[in-house]
Amino acid sequence: MLLSVFLVLVTVSGTLAAQELKEFHVFMGEPLPDYPGSTIIGDIIRAETGVKLNREYLVGDLETKVGLMIASGDYPDMVIAAHFTSLLKDAGVLVPLNDLIEEHAPNIKRLYANHWEMLQQEDGNVYWLPIQAIPYGPDTSRYPSLGFFISKKVLKEAGWPVVKTLDEYFGLIEDYVKKHPTINGESTIGYLTLFDSWRSFATTNVPQHLMGYPNEGEFVPVLEQDRFVVRDYHTSNTAKAYYKKLNEMYNKGIVDKETFVMNYDQYIEKLSSGRVLGTFNQFWQLESAQNILLRDDPESIFVPFPVVIDGLVEEYQRDIPYVQSTQGMGITVSCKDPVGAIKYLDYLIREDTQRLIQWGIEGEHYEVDENGLYYRTDEQMALFRDPDWVQNVFGRQYFHNSFPSLRGVDENGNMFFPDTQPHLIYSSSHDSEKEVMDAYGVKSFSDLYNEPRERKYFPLWTITMPAGSPAHIEETRMKDVLNGYVPELVMSKPEEFEKVWANFVRDISPLMEKQMEVYQEGIDWRMENW
C-alpha cells in the first residue's frame, strides 16, 4: 500500500516536468547545487531559444566520473569536463564543430576568430569551445589571480610596508603573532597553507612564483637564447629555501599545526574567522572567505603581494590574459540534434546574451551613463553583492561558469564582467579595500604587481598528458611523491630537514623526464603555430 503510493508519487512528479521544449542533457564537470528550475536570466533564455537544459553537475570526483562515462559509451548531448576535454576527443566522444559553426553559428565564428588557430587540433578540426573568449581586448580585475596574502591588520600596524621577499613576509607575520598571540580570544594562526587533495597545488606550486613566474603548472618554461625550455622547479634552490622557511615557521608555531590535514571547508572557515594572518593561494580559492571578511570583519581582509625569494628576482606573476584553449564545451556523438545544440551555444555567446548574463536587464539591473558606460546604482549593487540572490534568483552561475562566454572589453568600451569595469573597480570597492589601495597609492590590487611578460604559449599547464601514457603515469607518481614529502619537509625537526630534502630530491628527480618531453613538444608546437 504505502509502497505503491510512493511509487505513484515518484512517477507522477517525473512526468509533470515534460513540456514542449527541445531538451539537451549537459554534463558539467564542476559541483554546483542543482538548477533552481527558474531564474531571471534562465527564463528569458528558455523563452527565446525554446531549449530546456537537463543539467548534470559533478558529484564525486571528476576523473572517476568521466573515466566511466568514456568507458561506458553513454554520453550526454553536451559536455564540459576540465582537463578531460582532450581525452574525450581522443576517445571519439566529441564531434568536429567546424562545419556546424560555419553553417549555423555566425556569432561563434566571429567571436572565437582570434583564438581559432589555438583551437584547431592536429586534424584541423575544432572540437570544443573554451569557456572564455576574449574577442575585443583584455580586462583587469580588482584582485590579481594569485599571491601571498597577508591580513590587512598586519600591514596597518606595520605602517603599510610593501612586501617583496619571503623573509619580509614572514617577518611581518612573526612580529604580529608575538604582539598578538590571540585574536578574539582564540590563538592567532600565523600562516595557513592549503593541502586538500587536488587543491594542494596551493602549497606545491609556490616555488615557481617565488622565482617570479606566473602560474605555469608543474614545470616552468625558461627562456634560454630564443627558445622556451621546460625546466623543473620542484627541486630548485628556491623550492628548498621555501620549504626550509615553512619548516622554520612550523617549528616556531607560526604555521598552523592542522594545515596539512584540513579540508577546503575548514580552510575557508579558518580564513573567514579573522584569526589567520597569511596564506598563499590563487584568489578564486579564497574569494569566498574574503567576501565573508568584507562583511563580518573588514579590518581582517587579505591583501595580495607578489612575493619572491629574494631581492634579486624580478616578478611577473600576473597572468597573461589567455584563453584556456585545451578545455571547453563540446557536443558529443550521442547528441541527436547537433544543429540545435550549436545554435543554442551560438545564442549564448552573442554579446546581447552575455550582457544579459553578466549585467542583467538595463534599467533594472544596471544603468547607462551619458558616455555609454554601464554602472549600477547602490540598490542594484546591493542586489549583486548578495551571492545567494545572484546564484538562485538571477541565475548567473548557471550560464556563466561552464558555458562559452565572453570576457574583457566589449564592442562599445564596457567590460563584459561588471566587476572589471575600470571606472568601477575602485569606486565600487569596499571602504576597507579603499583604505588599503589608498595607502599603497593604487586603484586595484592588481596594480601592486608588475605588468606580465609576453609568453605566447602561456600557460604550460593547459598541455595535458596523453591518457594512460607513461608520461601520465609518471605525472601521477610525481604528485604522489610531492604530496608525500611536502608535509614531511615542513613538519620535520629543523636538524632533519637536510636529510628529508635529500631523500625528496632522490625520489622525485627520476619522475620528470617523460612529462618534460611532452611539455617541451607542446610548447614548441605552440610557439610555432599560435
Residues numbered 93 to 112 that lie near another protein (CB under 8 A) are 93
Q: Taking CB under 8 A as the rule, does residue 113 contact another protein?
A: no
Tell me the closest approach of the beta carbon of residue 158 to another protein, in angstroms. 28
Nearer to another protein, 164 or 479 (CB): 479
Residues pairing with 278 in the sheet: 150, 191
CB 367 within 8 A of CB 374: yes
* Burial per residue of 51-79, b for 16 or more beta-carbon CB atoms within 10 angstroms, e otherwise: bbbebebbeeebeebbeebbeeeebbbbb
User: Cα–Cα distance between 506 and 59 in angstroms, integer?
Assistant: 37
Total number of residues that touch another protein (CB under 8 A): 78
The 3-state DSSP class for residue 441 equals coil
Q: Could you say which of 91, 229, 373, 527 contacts another protein (CB under 8 A)?
A: 91
Tell me the closest approach of the beta carbon of residue 468 to another protein, in angstroms. 4
Tell me the closest approach of the beta carbon of residue 389 to another protein, in angstroms. 7
Residues numbered 465 to 524 that lie near another protein (CB under 8 A) are 467-468, 472-473, 476-477, 480, 483-484, 487
Q: Give the binding range for another protein (CB under 8 A) out of 65-73, 169-177, 358-366, 515-523.
A: 65-73
Q: Could you say which of 181, 387, 494, 510 contacts another protein (CB under 8 A)?
A: 387
Contact flags string 15-34 toward another protein, x per CB under 8 A? ----------x-x---xxxx
- Contacts (Cβ under 8 Å, ≥6 apart) of 234: 204, 207, 218, 482, 508, 512
Q: Taking CB under 8 A as the rule, does residue 386 contact another protein?
A: yes
Number of helical (H) and strand (E) elements in the chain, helices listed first:
24, 16
Contact flags string 407-446 toward another protein, x per CB under 8 A? ----------------------------------------
Q: Give the binding range for another protein (CB under 8 A) out of 61-69, 134-142, 320-328, 350-358.
A: 61-69
The torsion angles phi and psi of 254, rounded to 5 degrees, stand at -80, -40
The 3-state DSSP class for residue 307 equals coil
Q: Could you say which of 67, 96, 171, 413 contacts another protein (CB under 8 A)?
A: 67
Nearer to another protein, 74 or 517 (CB): 74
Residues numbered 38 to 57 that lie near another protein (CB under 8 A) are 54, 56-57
Q: Taking CB under 8 A as the rule, does residue 3 contact another protein?
A: yes
Strands (E), 59-193: 78-80, 132-133, 146-151, 182-183, 186-187, 189-192
Q: Which three cell numbers stand for residue 521?
A: 613538444
Nearer to another protein, 63 or 232 (CB): 63
- Contacts (Cβ under 8 Å, ≥6 apart) of 213: 220, 233, 316, 317
Nearer to another protein, 102 or 496 (CB): 496
Tell me the closest approach of the beta carbon of residue 469 to another protein, in angstroms. 9
User: Cα–Cα distance between 430 and 298 in angstroms, integer?
Assistant: 9
Q: Which three cell numbers stand for residue 422?
A: 575600470
Q: Which helix (H) or strand (E) holds 403?
A: none
Residues numbered 254 to 283 that lie near another protein (CB under 8 A) are 257-258, 260-261, 263-266, 268-270, 273
CB 259 within 8 A of CB 193: yes
Q: Do strands 374-375 and 367-368 pair parallel, antiparallel, or not at all (unpaired)?
A: antiparallel
Q: Could you say which of 38, 48, 92, 106 contacts another protein (CB under 8 A)?
A: 92
Residues numbered 294 to 353 that lie near another protein (CB under 8 A) are 295-296
Q: Taking CB under 8 A as the rule, does residue 392 contact another protein?
A: yes
Q: Could you say which of 23, 167, 168, 196 contacts another protein (CB under 8 A)?
A: 196
Tell me the Cα Rg of the chain: 24
Tell me the closest approach of the beta carbon of residue 51 to another protein, in angstroms. 17
Nearer to another protein, 379 or 388 (CB): 388
User: Cα–Cα distance between 472 and 482 in angstroms, integer?
Assistant: 15
Nearer to another protein, 106 or 466 (CB): 466
Tell me the closest approach of the beta carbon of residue 202 to another protein, in angstroms. 12
User: Looking at residue 463, what DSSP letter applies?
Assistant: -
The 3-state DSSP class for residue 230 equals strand
